[in-house]
Chains A and B, each alone.
Chain A
Amino acid sequence: MSKRGEGVEQSGEHRIPAKRSAVWRSLNDPAVLARCIDGCQSLERLGEDAFTATVRAKVGPVRATFQVALKLTDMRPPESYVLHADVKGAGAGFGKGSAEVTLAETEDGTTLLRYSVAGRVGGKLAQIGSRLIDSTARKMADDFFSAFHQALDPAANRQQSANPP
C-alpha cells in the first residue's frame, strides 16, 4: 500500500433482516452490489473472487468516474471475507483499501453485519478533499448499507414482486 495520501478508517455494523446465507449470497452477487452502490454504472465478475466496476461518484461539486477493482480473499462462507478495493480516477486520484466483513446469525433470524475498513486516498482528491474524506467515506458506507438493507428486506421484496416494473 502506498505511504502517500490520507488515511481513512471506518467501521460499523448493520442488522440486515435476512438469513445469513441470503446475506452472504447477496454480498457475492454482482447484480445486488451494483444496485446498492450509488452511481455504479457497471459491475462485472472477473472470476470467482474478483470484480471490476465503474462508479460515477458525486460528492458536492465533485463529479468523477472511477475504475474500481475488487478482490475477495480469506473467504469463509457464510461467515466472513476480506474485500480489497483498488480505485483509480482518471486524473482525479486514487484510493486503496480493504474491508473485513463478518456476518453473525442472531436469535431473531436476522444477520448482524460488521465491517471495518482501512485505506488511503491520494492524488488531487486527497488534496482538495482532505477535510471531507472521513465524512464522505461514512456517507458512502451508510448509503450502501441502507440500499443493501432495502434489497434484502423481505417486506420490501414482497412489495416489489407484487408490483412488477
Chain B
Amino acid sequence: MNPFNYHKPSTLAEAVALHRDAEDPAYLSGGHTLLPTMTQRLAAPSDLIDLEGLAELTGIAAEDGTLSIGAFTRHAEAAASAEVAGTLPALAELAEGIGDAQVRNRGTIGGSLANSDPAADYPAAVLALNAVIHTDRRQIAADDYFRGLFETALEEGEIITRIDFAIPSRAAYEKFPNPASRYATAGVMVADFNGTVRVGVTGAGPCGCRAHAFEAALSAHLDPAALDAAELPAIDFNSDLHASAEYRAHLVRVLAQRATARLVAAP
C-alpha cells in the first residue's frame, strides 16, 4: 500500500471541505472495496477521509410510509434492525445475504451505493422500493441514480447521507449468489405498492435497472406465470467466468418469478 494522509472529520461539512482541498482524495466508508484495491496498489489516493461516526450519516427510522436508513449503516446493522424487520423484512433479508459476516460487519449501504458494483445487492432494493438518495447537496431519485458500470449520478466529492425507501404493501428479494463471494450473479426484488408493482434487478447488467415489462405484467396480474413471456430488460447482460449473458438473462426471469411466488404466498 502507498502512503496516504488519514483524516477523521467530525462533521459532514468538514468531510466535504477536506475532500475539496486534497490532491487525490477518497472517502472511506466500510472500506471493503477501497482498502483491498489500495493494498493491491490499484488505487493510491493521497488522502483518506473516514466517514465513520458522522451524525448526519447514522440512524434508522420508519415513519409516514418511509424507511430512512443512514448511509453509514453497516449491512449487519440493517439486517438486525427492528425498524427494518418491522417495515421492510425483504430488505432485512437482502442485507443478511450480502457477502459474509466480515463484509456485513464492515460494509455500509452508502458505500455500496456510491461504489455501484454491478453485482451488489442494494441496487435492486433501491430501484424496486423507489428510494430517494439524499446527499450533502441534494436528493436523487432511484431512477436517476444508476448510470453505468461503477457510474452513478454522484458528483466529485458528493456524499450520500441517507436513503429513504418507500414502504410497499409487500416485497420479496431473490438472488442467485456466487457460491464463493455471495455477490449476486443476478438478483431481483419485486415490490407491490397496492397493486402497482416495481421490479429492481441487479447483477445482470452494468448497473442496477428496473424490469419495466415485468412490472406491467405483474401490475396487471400478480402471478409468476405472468412473467413467462414478458420481455426482459433491454440491457447488455454481463458475461464472465461465472455466468454467460444468456444464463444471466434466464436467471432474471426465474428469480423474478420466485420472488413473485414468495410475495403472493406471504401472509
A residues within 8 Å of B by Cβ? Answer: 6, 59-64, 91-92, 124-125, 127-128, 130-136, 138-139
Contacts and interface: CB of A to CB of B under 8 A. Distances in A.
Contacts of A91: 41
A124 B42 contact: yes
Given A92-B42, A130-B241, A131-B183, A61 B115 contact: yes
A132 B183 CA distance: 12
Contacts of A131: 119, 178, 183, 240-242
Most buried by B among A133, A134, A135: A135
B149 A128 contact: no
Contacts of B164: none
Interface in B171-213: 178, 183, 206
A164 to B, nearest CB: 27
Given A64-B43, A92-B41, A131-B242, 12 more contacts: A60-B116, A61-B34, A62-B42, A63-B45, A64-B42, A92-B40, A127-B40, A132-B240, A134-B240, A135-B239, A136-B149, A138-B236
A59 B119 CA distance: 15
Interface residues of B, number: 28
Contacts of A59: 149-150
User: Top 9 A-B pairs ranked by shortest CB distance?
Assistant: A60-B150, A61-B37, A62-B42, A139-B149, A63-B43, A131-B240, A124-B40, A61-B33, A91-B41
A56 B40 CA distance: 17
A60 B115 contact: yes
Given A59-B150, A60-B33, A135-B149, A128 B42 contact: yes
A139 B205 CA distance: 11
Interface string B32-72: 01101100111111000000000000000000000000000
Interface of B: 24, 33-34, 36-37, 40-45, 115-119, 148-150, 178, 183, 206, 236, 238-242
Nearest to A61: B37
Contacts of A60: 33, 115-117, 149-150
Secondary structure of the B contact surface, majority rule: loop
A139 to B, nearest CB: 5
Nearest to B44: A63
A128 B239 contact: no
A135 B238 contact: yes
A134 B148 CA distance: 14
Nearest to B205: A135
A134 B24 CA distance: 28
A63 B149 CA distance: 15
A74 B227 CA distance: 50
A135 B238 CA distance: 6
A132 B42 contact: no
A130 B178 CA distance: 13
Nearest to B35: A61
B160 to A, nearest CB: 16
24 contacts: A59-B149, A59-B150, A60-B115, A60-B116, A60-B150, A61-B33, A61-B37, A61-B115, A62-B37, A62-B42, A62-B43, A63-B24, A63-B42, A64-B42, A92-B42, A124-B41, A131-B119, A131-B183, A131-B242, A132-B149, A133-B240, A134-B240, A135-B206, A138-B236
Contacts of B42: 61-64, 92, 124-125, 128
A118 to B, nearest CB: 15
Which of A61, A62, A124, A138 has the most C-beta atoms of chain B within 10 angstroms of its own C-beta?
A61
